[in-house]
Amino acid sequence: MNMIGGFLVGFQEPGMTPLICFSAISFLINGFQTIKLVLNKRAISLPDDMKELYLTNFKMMTTQAFLKFYKMSFSETLKKNDQLTIQNQPVENLMLIKSGHVKVIKDEQCVTTMGANFFIGEMSFLSGELATATVVVESDQVEIIGWKKNKLHQLKKDDFDLFDELETAIANNLIKKIQHNL
């Protein structure tokens, strides 16, 4: 509006040139931000293997945010009796089971088993404390997707909104875990 008023009154009037320049710069910045928001919110197609992971665990994220998060991950296949965490030891990774089963051992007692789409190491990640249980591969093999905790803590500094969505995904997964054990 200031820009239109500046043109109507004329450049020759005192103070109009800076007002018109400021308005033009403001218009360009707001236009750029609007385009950026629209592009970040548009849905993109995910490959089938990622789509199930996204819909099951991360659907509160936009597909762009999920891809950014997914690119931070690593995949690993573990064999029967491999340990993912050890009770009272540091946990270096947040992990999500893609396939297979694990058993959760607390104080040398098996307390539950878990399969696909359950996080491992999330309590340590959220609390910053040591592992509350030992998690051991029970099936012949387990495929996991994992994220280094130090990268996730850097994500909190770099992209707090995405980190907040991750915490929501973990909270939803914890609810599923509780319901699984009831």
pLDDT at 22: 73
Residues 30 and 61 in one domain: no
Domain coverage including residue 31: 2-41
What is the number of structural domains in the chain? 2
Residues 95 and 8 in one domain: no
For the domain that residue 112 is a member of, what is the CATH number?
2.60.120.10
Q: What is the pLDDT of residues 51-85, one digit of tens each?
A: 889 999 998 888 888 999 999 999 999 999 999 99
What is the C-alpha to C-alpha distance for residues 157 and 9, in angstroms, rounded to an integer?
A: 47
What is the C-alpha to C-alpha distance for residues 61 and 126, in angstroms, rounded to an integer?
A: 19
Q: What is the pLDDT of residues 148-182, one digit of tens each?
A: 999 999 999 999 999 999 999 999 999 988 887 76
What is the C-alpha to C-alpha distance for residues 85 and 114, in angstroms, rounded to an integer?
A: 14
Q: What is the pLDDT of residues 3-56, one digit of tens each?
A: 555 555 565 667 667 766 777 788 788 877 777 666 556 667 788 878 889 999
Residues 73 and 157 in one domain: yes
Residues 59 and 138 in one domain: yes
Residues 28 and 55 in one domain: no
Residues 55 and 117 in one domain: yes
